[in-house]
Copies of this chain bind each other. A is one copy, B any other.
Amino acid sequence: MLVSDYILKFLEKKKVKKVFLITGGAITFVVDAFSRNKKIKYIDCGHEQGSAMMADAYSRLGPNFSATMVTSGPGATNLLTGIACSWFDSIPGIHFCGQVNMNELSGAVKSTKKVRQVGFQETDIVSMAKPITKFAYRIKTEKEIPYILDKAYDISTSGRPGPVLIDIPMNFQRKLINLKKLKKYKSQKKINNKNLKDKINTTYNLFKKSKRPVIILGGGIEISKSRHLLDKLFSKYKVPYVTTWSGKDCCYHGQKNYIGTIGVYGSRAANFTVQNSDLILNIGSRLDTRITGGNPSSFGRNAKIVSVDIDKYELNKKRGLNNFLKINFDVKDFLNQFILKNQYVCDVSWLKKCNNWRINYPEVLKSWRKQSKLVNPYYFVETLSEVLNRKDIIIADDGAHLTWAVQAFKIKKGQRFFSAFGNSPMGYALPASIGASIAKNRQRIICIDGDGSLQINIQELHTLSKNNLPIKIFILNNNGYGIIKQFQELYLSKRFEASGKGVSNPDYKKISKAFNINYTKIKNHQNLKQKLKKILKSNTAELVDVAIKPDQKIIPKLQFGKPIEDLSPLLSRKEFNENMIVKKIKSDKKIINVN
């Protein structure tokens, strides 16, 4: 069997149905195998960055994982930003890079080791990809290909998942391999649930002692494929729960005891809940700076934090945050046992308090709905979420519009809502929406984008168009980089260098026309719901240009140096203090519990 055919057979076995690629000199032989395989197809993309982002989204939604194929040099380096999305968000995926022939590699002979380049378009992609992959490897003989593929797959999908990259010199791509004579790979997956029971018991006992427990649901719920265990969790543990951004779509809006999302752009209600709690069960969140605020020691400062994470390095971080109990297990294994315990109901007054916060501090204010000129993004996102259905998949890009979307979107049960949270590149949402639609059998996808972000991978509008995908792109258009402008207004006396000044947008109406995509402009709140319903009904791609105030703010937002319960605009100290059961004195290193 030819190596190239073997690679496709391998992907086929792993249930990969689509490969995202751009061909090129050094990958041509691998791509040729598609002519002999009817079960797996390729999507030709506009830029390899698009391919990697499509693959990332495909992997987030697909039955299994995804692949890209690209040529050496620029083809490979163009993948890196997309691969980083998968790396930081723990998404599996395999990236095949063509490489020059073995004898044309620098270092193939000793004398070429320090030469910048020997073969045409030769680049050391393995070294470049190492910091953002679980495994990056250059094939050394065609015989090891089956072994390396199995190994790469195993590494990518086991433990904390992540992307892998395989670099294949051209000369191996067209070789024959005899499958009978090859070394077999043995999975390194360890299932070791020793001590898990003890830790679960300890956790359960902490709950029993706790007056104000809270559960945080992070991206680990989805990554470990544990969504289906949540109903049982919530029915067994009657406690308030909150989510991170990555965990937002684990809960739906209005779900009983769901308080909201936490963090520097979190909801006041959810942040009050966490900051007043005495026991935090953190399931699958790495509790990064965007969650804890700049001073991690102020996060959950009066709580015992129990963290479940498959990545021991995340648990062992010592930067102020103290995990009282570290449960270094797969979230699914943890949940499967944790939900077997007897029902636990927390103090009713605590539950009520948290739910009151949710009611008292809604994400979208009434006054915003009444804005007469231009569109308020919070009202817009809220309205959009109201007209979507349970099967919808919503993908947001990054910056201000992502923040507005996360803050105001009201998830319905069954919906998926994500972005490339950890890497947060501009330009993710469009290719990701394409990958998502393809993963879901050409389903409608809701793409929430920014006027700056959309430009980054605008070439993929052609990929969208030529594949006839019903993707609805909503540009929250504030004519510039809103999140930077807000920062400059706060800290740099409104010097809008390169965020407002020097920045402009193409005419998105003309752009839509150029790519054969329907265009609608929304200038104000009039008949918003009807307009959205009409747009959503169509079977085709739509680009909706939503005019936002150029100085529209993110509200609320944490300012430098504040703990996350104290979001800006600041509440009056009276109101703030009334919300704080646990008061802090002077610094976050001196805390007293006054309740």
List the interface of chain A (C-beta within 8 A of B): 21-25, 28-29, 31-32, 34-35, 42-44, 46-47, 49, 73-74, 77-78, 80-81, 84, 87-88, 103-104, 108-121, 123-124, 127-132, 162, 286, 288-290, 311, 313-314, 316-319, 422-427, 455-459, 461-462, 465-466, 481, 483-484, 487-488, 492, 495, 497-499, 502-507, 510-511, 513-516
Q: Would you give the shortest CB distance from A10 to chain B, in whole angstroms?
A: 18
Q: How far is the CA of A314 from the CA of B347 in the complex (A)?
A: 74
Contact of A455 with B459 at beta-carbon distance under 8 Å, contacts A35-B497, A74-B424, A127-B131 already known: yes
Among B46, B78, B124, B319, the residue within 8 A (CB) of A118 is B319
A22 to chain B, nearest CB (A): 7
Question: Closest chain B residue to A312 by CB distance?
Answer: B114
Of B132, B311, B499, which one neighbours A23 at CB under 8 angstroms?
B499
Contacts known (A23-B499, A123-B131, A492-B32); A314 close to B115, Cβ less than 8 A? yes
Q: A35-B495, A424-B121, A495-B35 are in contact. Are A466 and B504 (CB under 8 A)?
A: yes
CB distance from A137 to the nearest CB of B (A): 16
Q: Measured between C-beta atoms, what is the minimum distance from A209 to chain B in Å?
A: 28
- Other-chain contact of A25, B104, B288, B487, B511 (Cβ < 8 Å): B487
Distance to closest chain B CB from A34 (angstroms)? 5
Q: Which residues of B contact A484 (CB under 8 A)?
A: 23-25, 28
Q: Which of B116, B120, B317 contacts A424 (CB 8 A)?
A: B120
Given contacts A32-B488, A42-B497, A112-B313, 7 further A-B contacts (CB under 8 A): A24-B481, A42-B502, A77-B84, A109-B318, A114-B313, A118-B288, A127-B131
Question: Chain B nearest CB: distance from A97 CB in Å?
Answer: 13
Given the known inter-chain contacts A74-B81, A84-B77, A498-B44, please indicate yes or no for A506 contacting B465, CB distance below 8 A: yes
Query: How far does the alpha carbon of A73 sit from the alpha carbon of B113 in the complex, in Å?
Result: 29
Across-interface contacts of A427 in B (CB, < 8 A): 47, 74
Bound-state Cα–Cα, A78 to B499, Å: 18
Which of B44, B497, B514 touches A511 (beta carbons < 8 Å)?
B514
CA gap between A77 and B81 in the complex, in Å: 6
Choose one: B44, B116, B130; the contact of A127 (CB below 8 Å): B130
Q: Are B28 and A123 in contact (CB under 8 A)?
A: no
B-chain residues with CB within 8 Å of residue A42 when the two chains form the complex = 497-498, 502
Q: In whole Å, how far is A11's beta carbon from the nearest beta carbon of chain B?
A: 15
- Nearest chain B residue, comparing its CB with the CB of A425: B74
Q: What 10 A-B pairs come out closest when comparing CB atoms? A: A74-B425, A510-B514, A23-B498, A514-B514, A111-B318, A124-B131, A44-B502, A114-B313, A462-B506, A35-B495
A37 to chain B, nearest CB (A): 11
Cβ contact within 8 Å between A425 and B73: yes
Contact, CB under 8 Å: B317 / A115: yes
List of B residues within 8 angstroms of A505 by Cβ: 462
Q: How far is the CB of A265 from chain B (nearest CB, A)?
A: 11
Contacting residues, chain B, for A499 (C-beta < 8 A): 23, 28
- A to B CB contacts below 8 Å, 5 in the list: A47-B427, A47-B455, A109-B319, A112-B313, A121-B423
Q: Are B88 and A424 in contact (CB under 8 A)?
A: no
Other-chain contact of A423, B43, B74, B481, B483 (Cβ < 8 Å)? B74
Roughly how many angstroms separate A131 CA and B461 CA in the complex, as a whole number? 33
* Known contacts A458-B458, A515-B506; is-contact A498 B288 (Cβ 8 Å): no
What's the least CB distance linking A158 to chain B, in Å?
16
Kindly list chain B residues whose C-beta atoms are within 8 Å of the C-beta of A117: 88, 288, 422
Shortest CB-to-CB span from A83 to chain B, Å, is 9
Whether A425 lies near B78 (C-beta < 8 A) is yes
Q: Which of B78, B104, B497, B510 contacts A513 (CB 8 A)?
A: B510
Q: How far is the CA of A104 from the CA of B426 in the complex (A)?
A: 22
Residues from chain B with a CB closer than 8 A to the CB of A458 are 46, 458-459
Given A31-B497, A114-B313, A459-B459, A288 contacting B120 (CB threshold 8 A): yes
A313→B115 contact, CB < 8 A: yes
- With A25-B487, A462-B455 already in contact, the answer to whether A132 and B121 are too (CB < 8 A) is no
Would you give the shortest CB distance from A382 to chain B, in whole angstroms?
A: 26
Residues of B within 8 A of A507 (CB): 514, 516
A282 to chain B, nearest CB (A): 15
Q: Which residue of B lies closest to A506 (CB)?
A: B462
Q: How far is the CA of A116 from the CA of B161 in the complex (A)?
A: 12
Complex Cα distance A35/B497, Å? 7
A218 to chain B, nearest CB (A): 14
Is A116 a contact partner of B88 (Cβ separation < 8 A)? yes
Inter-subunit contact A123/B118 (CB<8 Å): no
User: In the bound complex, how far is the Cα of B511 from the Cα of A517, in angstroms?
Assistant: 13
Cα of A313 to Cα of B466 in the assembled complex, Å: 47
Residues of chain B with a CB closer than 8 A to A319's CB: 103, 108-109, 111-112, 118
Q: Which of these, B110, B116, B423, B498, contacts A22 with CB under 8 Å?
A: B498
| A455 contact set on B, CB distance < 8 A | 46-47, 459, 462
With a CB–CB cut-off of 8 A, which chain B residues contact A119? 288-289
- The reply to whether A497 and B32 contact each other, CB–CB distance below 8 Å, is yes
Chain B residues within 8 Å of A128, by CB: 80, 128-129, 131-132
